[in-house]
Amino acid sequence: MHNWFKCTVSYETDAENGMKKKVKEEYLVDALSYTECEARIIEEMRPFISGEFSVDIKRFRIAELFAMDGDRFYKVTADYITIDEKSGNEKRKAFNYIVRANDLDHAKKNFEEGMKGTISDFVVTCIKEEKKLMDFYEFDGKIRNPEKHENNKQ
């Protein structure tokens, strides 16, 4: 099971007019803890950012990430529909997913493709582009020691 964190990375970069501008980008990191998440996002960002940067980390609850084709990320909310056996009433429970796609229609298509074979009934209730989300980093199973990693760079 994945344990996703949303990392907001803030840094300054050179704008087209030569001035400095502050940039905020979001990344999803699959990690066991906040500490591991921080070490992994720093490791991933260091080659691309010169100078200082800050990282804000928050737990991000999604049922699944569908990393299909596309250059954007969309948050898809789907309600699972069940029938309460005692009352006979319909019950809905919402779950969030992240889907990579090119546009809204493509996001819905990719989501439905990813959900093929699901035996539960569901209804897509919302699809929204995650404009600041740049990429994601899945857990790769490697045990990392941030201090050892820093020493190896020298």
pLDDT tens across 20-47, in order? Answer: 889 999 999 999 999 999 999 999 998 8
Question: Per-residue confidence at 144, pLDDT binned at 50, 70, 90?
Answer: very low
> Looking at the predicted structure, is the pLDDT value of residue 152 above 60?
no
Query: For the chain, which residues make up each domain, given as ranges?
Result: 4-61, 64-129
- List 77's β-bridge partners, or say none: 96, 126
Mark 50-80 as b/e (b = at least 16 C-beta within 10 Å): eeebebebeebeeebbbeeebebbbbbebbe
pLDDT tens across 69-96, in order? Answer: 899 999 999 999 888 888 889 899 999 9
- List 100's β-bridge partners, or say none: 73
